[in-house]
Amino acid sequence: MTLLITLLILSIIIFIHELGHFLAARVFKMPISEFSIGMGPELLSYKKSYTKYSVRGIPMGGFVNIDGMDIEKPVENGFNSKPAYQRFIVLFAGVFMNFVLAFIIMMSLTFISGKYDIVDDGSIGYISEKAPAYNDLKVGDKIKEIDNIKIENWNDITVIMRNIKKDKLNMVIERDGVLIEKKIKLIYDEKNQKYMIGINPKYIHSKYGFIEGIKEGVKSFNELFSTVFKGLKMLVKGEVKSDEVSGPIGMVRIVDEFVKTGKILLVWLTAMLSVNIGIFNLLPFPALDGGRIIFVILEMIGIKINKKIEERVHLIGMVILILLFFIITGNDIKNIFKK
């Protein structure tokens, strides 16, 4: 089941990427011989005008064949016959669609999940079962005093606990309108070297308003984009250990962990992977969209590279990418046996 979910996620992301190239090529009237969902042997096909639309046997992504990219086979209105700015847009469109997918997902999650606002009157919303206070306090209790200090909000509790150096404290709580005095035993957090009650505040769940939700959705997307960008930057700079890099096999393991945590996080993972694939494709490396875009930009500023040399560079880049794919896959297998 996890394998199918992984294939579905990657298929959606790659399909959206290829759809971007397809739509942009259509706008500039570039001939497209085939637009396929999936890879491998053809199962179904439908031809409209010049373009064949197909479904293939391996449910993994898809592809779009834009005629005229092969310099040995020039085509009327083909890719290489078009102005540089049009080729730039077609090449960038796939990455752009990856970002659009992630943005829509993050925006949707924002409105679906809503927000949690703290009930800032000292009300208890959670008590750890490991804490001694679990036997003395109840969810819904309001903390009114700690060691004769009046409590107005949760910040008051935080300030007091920051300076506590003993394992017990006196507390006045309000329960069902009645004030009750309690002597609460604390737990010691070895990691942070401080005493804790073992409680969290009460929260109220509510939906975002339209404007507030849009702002929060944009903020969530920006944070996701920034996180993924920093991660890839560390990877390029060699600051990530080899055993921390995952390929297709490692992806199945990651998806399995997210499946256990729930559907919302699985959808978030889809957004994260879409941004990841988008940024990766923008890297100025031969064979990737980013590598091809570099040559188009050079042409736009008056530096024209021989097309045959460019294609050789992209071929070398493709070979390197395939080698990296096998190395990362081998790393995934090694990590499985380690565990």
Q: What is the pTM of this model?
A: 0.78
Token pair, residue 55, equals 């479904």
Terminal CA-CA length for the chain: 21
Q: What is the CATH number of domain 117-205?
A: 2.30.42.10
Q: Where in the chain is the domain with CATH 2.30.42.10?
A: 117-205
Longest CA–CA span in the chain (Å) reads 87
Whole-number Å distance between alpha carbons of 64 and 14: 11
pLDDT at 140: 92
The whole-number pLDDT of residue 223 equals 93
Return the sign of the alpha-carbon dihedral for residues 276, 281, 286, 287: positive
Q: How far apart are CA 245 and CA 328, in angstroms?
A: 7
Paired with 48 in beta bridges are 51
Give catalytic residue positions: 18
The tens digit of pLDDT for each residue in 43-93 reads: 889 888 889 999 888 766 678 999 988 777 778 889 989 999 999 999 999
Mean pLDDT of the 253-276 span: 83
Report helix angle 289-300 to 307-338, nearest 10: 150
Q: Where is 224: in which H helix or E strand?
A: helix 210-236
* pLDDT recorded at residue 127: 92
